[in-house]
Amino acid sequence: MLSINNLHANIEGKKILNGINLEVGTGEVHAIMGPNGSGKSTLASVLAGRDNYEVTEGSITYRDQDLMEMDPEIRAREGVFLAFQYPVEIPGVTNMYLLKAAINAVKKHRGLDELDAREFLKLIKEKAAMVEMKQEFLYRSVNEGFSGGEKKRNEILQMALLEPYLSILDETDSGLDIDALKIVAKGVNLIRSQERSMILVTHYQRLLDYIVPDYVHVLAGGKIIRSGGKELALELEEKGYGWIDELAAA
């Protein structure tokens, strides 16, 4: 699905990623953990195509294509989805409008028929129920005045609608209380399948109680310094990120 080789990236001349290597197979869920400033969110942004990062070395192959050659919208249509840590509020654009434009952009790209109003409404109601989102939120401006939990739920709704092959969830658990976290995790687990891969970027082990990963990677100083199974997350929780600093220094 995804193959990252020796990825180096700068932001405004400052080195953030220092040679990331990561293989994500189809159907796998990978968690990337690490302390603040380790480069987790940068990695997520680079995968989605944000242009304020400069990739200086390395390559990213996604479904046998060079991901770096694609604009963000092409990545999205090819099945890459980023759930934002801080979803953007867009006053004046209704959630419905965005969702419909998004799904039809994806369908058109894949040579499929676009959904008409009725088909779309049926689909969106089904997906909204899946993430327990009240319908009134569909008719409001994108994320405007949404609580933290509602914004994250809206991200998962978009993900459920677009059915991406590769989902990157950037600190989706941050700022959520336990009830909101459970709803979000439930949505993610419903989308999880043999055909879809996921990367969960998180600071805390807590999320992984609800979305159990196949692999856990520890990121520090812009490099993956340790990889393992889900038990690595527990070890990290127990020993704290200080342990990571020791590992990194060694």
Partner 1 sequence: MTNIIDHYVDQHIADTAHNSEVMPAWLVQQKQSAIEQFKSCGFPTLRDEDWRYTSLKSVVSKFFEVKVTETTASVDLEPFLLEDLDCYRLVFIDGRFSLQDSTMPQSVEGCDISALGSMSLIELEQAPPALTKGGTVSNGFSALNVAFSKDGYVVQIADQTQLDKPIEILFVSASDNVAAQPRSIVQMGRFAEAVLIERHVSVQGLTALSNSTCQIELNENSKLDFYLVESMDSAATQIHSLDAELAKNSTLSCRTLTLGGGLVRNNLKVSLNGEGAHCDMFGLYNTAGKQHVDNHTNVIHAAPHCTSNELYKGVLDQRSRAVFHGRINVEQDAQKTDAIQTNNNLLLSANAEIDTKPQLEIYADDVKCAHGATVGQIDEASLFYLRTRGIAEADARSLLTFAFVNDVMERVDIEALKDSVSAELAAKLIDEKVDLRSEA
Residues within the interface to partner 1 (CB under 8 A): 48-52, 71-73, 75-77, 81-82, 84, 87-88, 90-93, 98, 101-102, 105-106, 109, 141, 158, 162
- Least distance to partner 1, CB of residue 236, Å: 29
Return the exposure string of 195-227: e unless at least 16 CB atoms fall within 10 Å of the residue's CB, then b: ebbbbbbbbebebbebbebebbbbbbbbbbebe
Q: Which is nearer to partner 1, 88 or 249 (CB)?
A: 88
- Least distance to partner 1, CB of residue 25, Å: 23
| Tokens 């959904």 found at | 115
- Least distance to partner 1, CB of residue 93, Å: 5
- Least distance to partner 1, CB of residue 77, Å: 5
Q: Which is nearer to partner 1, 16 or 216 (CB)?
A: 16
Q: Which is nearer to partner 1, 155 or 173 (CB)?
A: 155
- Least distance to partner 1, CB of residue 76, Å: 4
Phi, psi of 86 (to 5 degrees): -120, 90
Asked whether the beta carbons of 34 and 40 are under 8 A apart, the reply is yes
- Least distance to partner 1, CB of residue 97, Å: 8
Identify the burial level of 159 via C-beta atoms within 10 angstroms of its C-beta, where 0-12 means exposed, 13-18 middle and 19 or more buried.
buried
Phi, psi of 237 (to 5 degrees): -60, -40
Nearest to 132 by CA among 93, 95, 186: 186
